[in-house]
Amino acid sequence: MQEKTLAEPAAYPVGSVQRVLAAIHDPVRLEIVRRLFNAGTPLQCGALYDGINKSTATHHFRILREAGVTERLVTDGMTCQRLRRAEVDAAIPGLLESIVRSANGEADAR
Amino acid sequence: MQEKTLAEPAAYPVGSVQRVLAAIHDPVRLEIVRRLFNAGTPLQCGALYDGINKSTATHHFRILREAGVTERLVTDGMTCQRLRRAEVDAAIPGLLESIVRSANGEADAR
């Protein structure tokens, strides 16, 4: 029996501005980032989206992760997503705060 | 003979964060925004892109315009694009500066 290996690195380097924007511009992924930013702590995957199925969510998590915006943690057998806020801030200062502050304002207005 | 009317408004309101990010995340449009931001003044369309044809450029200008990021000016029969920096800043403070500063750093490194 073959052993299943995780070829994936634990975390990817933060991508170019263009790549990070491409990761965040999608409405589902913007909402994932907004919830993680507001929580200030890793969150379980299921707390990060509404109205999409798990395989679609997995796709969105992968895009965020490969752009270096988030990483996946497994704690007590539970998979969480962590926003790499410090890492993204170091690469693109001010970006996440600017985006989330305005996105919060829009969410409040809904 | 029917008169040709421009049904389009002179400028669109700045869109949601999601819409503005969707407009800017594309590499061609990010470069257009970067050049306009750095110039600090409206620029002729031809100065804003390389390596794409005019109809593709027109498509990109339209997406930026409809998101409220840029507007089109006609001066002495020449079409220019203006970055709506103050308007975007009022809607999403800090976004353009954060993006362009990092994009400039990447362009310098190339």
Q: What is the mean pLDDT of each run of 10 residues along chain B (110 residues)?
A: 54 96 98 98 96 96 98 90 98 98 92
ipTM of this model? 0.90
Nearest CB among B91, B97, B102 relative to A102 is that of: B91
CA pair distance B90, B62, nearest whole angstrom: 21
The whole-number pLDDT of residue A6 equals 52
Task: Give the contacts of A97 (CB within 8 A, at least 6 positions apart).
Answer: A37, A89, B94
pLDDT above 60: residue A3: no
Q: Write out pLDDT tens, residues B32-42.
A: 999 999 999 99
Verify whether the Cβ–Cβ distance A30 to B18 is below 8 Å.
yes
Which of chain B's residues have a Cβ under 8 Å away from the Cβ of A17? 30, 99, 102-103, 106
CA pair distance B69, B64, nearest whole angstrom: 5
What is the reported pTM? 0.91
